[in-house]
Amino acid sequence: MSKKKNELKDTREWALAIIERAQSGDEDAMPALREILDRVPSIREVLGADLDRTVEYSISKSLGGEDNLAFREAIKRKLAALREELEGPTPSPTERLLVDRVVACWFQVQEADLRYAQAGDCSLAQADYHLRRQDRAHRRFLTGMKTLATVRKLGLPVLQVNIGENQVNVANATVTSDAE
């Protein structure tokens, strides 16, 4: 093995050892762990910092069963496609956070609907529980969508031109000047 590969292997093993120590509560490992997380930010997601994806995984595992990998992969791809569609080509950081929230709420609505449909014959109290759960999930989804729409509306630059008594408003306009 080349020297560079040996160094890479040693670095990887060192990082894994630090992570394991931190996961088991070793405070002395924390400075090195912080350095690792700063140098390789993608490790944050591997360690579980991507909480929205962790929640999605847990719900899809609960819905599809422990071993149904096909279902979980299909759900994962559906949520990713929905997220991409809602984000659009150049989302702001705020829009990305709101889209994550909207996707999570959409998934919760679907999950509540499915749980109610699977309940079959249930008591009035159980039916009421499911209906209230659906309603709350739906309200959260609509609130998220409204907030996302508001943020997008507020984020668009608007050009207003008054010519005599006429007013022209153009959203998302780019103003250029001959003096530039």
Q: What is the pLDDT of residues 47-77, one digit of tens each?
A: 878 888 888 888 988 888 889 999 999 999 9
Task: Tell me how far the alpha carbon of residue 93 is from its chain's centroid.
Answer: 11
User: What residue spans define the domains of the chain?
Assistant: 3-46, 51-155
Residue that has been written with the tokens 């490790």 in this structure: 43
Please tell me the predicted confidence (pLDDT) of residue 171.
53
Q: What is the pLDDT of residues 16-43, one digit of tens each?
A: 899 999 999 999 999 999 999 998 888 8
Q: Residue 99: exposed, middle, or buried by beta-carbon count in 10 A (0-12, 13-18, 19+)? A: buried
Q: How does residue 174 score in pLDDT terms, banded at 50, 70 and 90?
A: very low
> Which pTM was predicted?
0.70
Token code pair at residue 104: 């999570």
* The token pair that represents 132 in the structure block: 């209230």
